[in-house]
Amino acid sequence: MGVDVASMHLDAAAHGGSGVVRFANTDGAVSKWLRTLPAGSTIALESTGRYHERLAFAAHAKGFTVYLLNPRDVRHYARAMGMRGKTDKLDAQILARYAAHECTELRAWVPPSPELRRLEDLLRRRGTLVKHQVAIRQSLADSAGLRASAKTLMKEFAQLLDSIDQQIAQAAADLNLDSEGFERITSVPGIGLLSGSVLLGLFQRLAERGADAVIAFLGLDPRPMDSGKKVGLRRLSKRGPAEWRRLLFNAAMSASRTKAWSATYERERAKGLPRTAALNVLARKLVRVAFGLFKSGQHFDSSKIAPA
């Protein structure tokens, strides 16, 4: 089954079928539709903020296989299949086809724990708030008549962000199963509350798959772009949550100014890398080191960093 998700309704199509069923995105309607499916069914849907969660959790609870797909991948797949339009019904059909033909390359979705879900939700909401805060500050920067009101508003933003940060700290503590994992992660210079919370959740979710999987999930993995005479070009995949990638990039900027990591950063710059590329390299190093500490039970030791 392929299901196109919207805030108010869902469109479902079976691979090989011609019809598309529309039903409301409510608990009752989702439960009623799931009862019509045979045991062992597979459901593919796109990751759409929060709108997909009701169906994904309900389907997984009933024992169905759920694939949560990247919308960009599905869009490229539809174009490759010659789809000339985009409607909710067409999207549902292409999702069903994608899951049917590519299932061997897909990983089934596993719901996060309630603690991890709360942490991720707080981080996502904080990222949205920061984005709007920056936009409002920039739009009012050159308005003398609104300067006083803008200052008051920015103060309210700061208070709200501080409140969310406190909740994130508590959520990280609730998720911190071995009581010291978060402390080991944040012992790495440059990694603070926010970036450490992101890594704690990812390390617990991807503990068996390694640091490379975490880097790929964050979209910090360099992808080759070789073609013809263009050889050696690399670009970040940027497939993961943009807000989490921003937090790790900020952690790398902070780390580059510390005694522990400044030589590492300067070494990358000496290779001819621009500042952004060097910081991305450092961000990957931070993830690898933090993952190693998380798994080994050790705290950061700057003497173990390779000298410049």
**Closest of 297, 285, 305, 303 to residue 184, by C-alpha:** 297
242-256 and 211-218 are packed helices; what angle lies between their axes, rounded to 10 degrees? 110
The b/e string for 190-225 (b: 16+ C-beta within 10 A; e otherwise) is bbeebbbbbbbbbbbbbeeeebebbbbbbbbbeeee
- pLDDT for residue 307: 59
- pLDDT for residue 37: 93
**Cβ-count burial of 258 within 10 angstroms (0-12 exposed, 13-18 middle, 19+ buried)?**
middle
Strands (E), the chain: 2-5, 9-13, 20-24, 42-46, 65-69, 222-224, 234-236
Q: Give residue for tokens 């994608």.
A: 98
- pLDDT for residue 179: 63
Can you tell me the distance from the alpha carbon of 81 to that of 97, in angstroms, rounded to the nearest whole number?
A: 10
Q: Letter for the amino acid at 69?
A: L
CA contacts within 13 A on the Cβ side of 155: 6
Question: From its phi and psi, is residue 220 left (phi > 0), alpha (psi between -120 and 50) or beta?
Answer: alpha
Element spanning 166, H or E:
helix 147-175
Spell out the residues 6+ positions from residue 160 whose beta carbon is closer than 8 angstroms to its own: 129
Can you tell me the distance from the alpha carbon of 98 to that of 69, in angstroms, rounded to the nearest whole number?
A: 9
Question: From its phi and psi, is residue 210 left (phi > 0), alpha (psi between -120 and 50) or beta?
Answer: left
Can you tell me the distance from the alpha carbon of 91 to that of 12, in angstroms, rounded to the nearest whole number?
A: 9
Indicate whether this model's pTM tops 0.75: yes
Q: What is the pLDDT along the chain (308 residues), one digit of tens a residue?
A: 999 999 899 999 999 887 899 999 999 999 999 999 999 999 999 887 788 999 999 999 999 999 999 888 889 888 998 887 888 888 999 999 999 998 888 889 888 888 888 988 899 899 899 999 988 888 887 877 787 888 888 899 999 999 999 999 888 888 776 667 889 999 999 999 999 999 998 898 888 888 999 999 899 988 887 777 777 777 888 887 888 899 999 999 999 999 999 999 999 999 999 999 999 999 999 999 999 999 888 889 888 776 55
- pLDDT for residue 306: 65
